[in-house]
A and B are shown apart, each in its own frame.
Chain A
């Protein structure tokens, strides 16, 4: 199984029936494809609606997701303006957000919006999502393309939010941000704890109840 699919499959387990969920652009969008049976969620699209659905046959250029791609809206969905969209996000009406990350760390900090001198796309809605959603899940590949660690002791890129992350899901395992530090609770099949430690800069606490990563086999 490819890394991205594993990550999306595992992150999907975190969603509960009836949750209002915002999925970030890129890898997090895939989470919607792997919802467990019997779990229905309402997807919020920060460009102004709730009830984001698959595109189906739609060619309507005024119905797009937050990445600008054509999409659908499910029965029971609702449209609104950007102020309402972010009132929902900041106001605690979104249960879960799943976002990608450039870096995250053992304090629950997240950096995902700029690399000084190289890439400054802007934060879009990410800064609002991380302070507003009840649960913040970072779904990202464990290491950068050059092999360097992305789960650090402390982020060195400009932050999206400080102390905002609840859970990190990578293709190697699942990490819970706790007051004592980063707790490895699940590990991917065939991966050793030593391998995970070797690819992680942050200090890891290994759970006494470490189990195999859910929903990936």
Chain B
């Protein structure tokens, strides 16, 4: 079996100017902080960032916004990071706000070979602007299209060397669906064990979806 482990320098070689990156986490809970730091350190620019929220200025993906590395963000909430709103109003940052459930489904579609999803969410609001409406059995739905990324950075509590993952409580959030929706999936884990030590029934994300494993210091 090929070795999926890499160090932080090797991980950062995947970060390129203009990349589209998905980053797991909800208000930075469940965000792979060290991988995000590596993007900051590498200084890549013009990123399209797909993430639930832009966290706070000094945590999670909030740092990428403060560091002005992001060209466009696709998220459901930006209110906890004042810098996002400031750059948006100054037209320095494009922000696409997506209802949280729709964001999750668009990512799921991107990783599941689906051409989109029909949802009632946003009908009758500005979210429906420029979207196709489709009537099914008398109900009007919005067509929401898939999202896909060059790289997904996700966080798990534990991996085996094949990349099978277990998440920790509310730190799961967007991580499992993002693990399906990118060309390269890099996971940051707190603990790495041998294959076989995680029983198949407990695996939350199958190792075949995970390309690279970065284990934090001391694991």
Contacts and interface: CB of A to CB of B under 8 A. Distances in A.
Interface of A: 45-49, 60-64, 66, 68, 73, 79-83, 85-87, 89-90, 119-128, 131-132, 158-163
A87 to B, nearest CB: 8
B96 to A, nearest CB: 10
Contacts of A47: 26-27, 29, 170, 173
Closest 4 CB pairs of A and B: A121-B79, A162-B124, A86-B101, A128-B101
A48 B78 contact: no
Interface stretch (B7-15, B102-110, B209-217): B102-110
B125 A122 contact: no
A166 to B, nearest CB: 16
10 contacts: A48-B26, A61-B29, A68-B26, A119-B85, A121-B80, A127-B125, A131-B120, A132-B120, A161-B125, A162-B124
Contacts of B103: 82
Contacts of A61: 29
Interface stretch (B35-43, B174-182, B192-200): B174-182
Contacts, number: 139
B53 interface: yes
Given A90-B120, A120-B78, A121-B78, A48 B101 contact: no
A62 to B, nearest CB: 4
B168 interface: yes
B169 interface: yes
- Residues of B in contact with A, size category: 35 or more
Nearest to B99: A127
Contacts of A128: 99-102, 121
Interface in B154-174: 167-174
Contact of A123 (B85, B97, B120, B167): B97
B6 interface: no
Contacts of A81: 104, 172-177
B119 interface: yes
Residue from B52, B85, B127, B169 whose CB has the most chain A CB atoms within 10 Å:
B169
B23 to A, nearest CB: 13
Contact of A83 (B77, B108, B127): B108
A48 B170 contact: yes
Given A61-B29, A64-B27, A82 B169 contact: no
A79 B30 CA distance: 13
Contacts of A89: 101
B126 interface: yes
A82 B178 CA distance: 10
B169 A79 contact: yes
Contact of A122 (B26, B79, B102): B79
B134 interface: no
Nearest to B108: A83
A63 B101 contact: no
Nearest to B52: A82
B169 A60 contact: yes
B173 A48 contact: yes
B170 A86 contact: no
Given A127-B125, A159-B124, A122 B169 contact: no
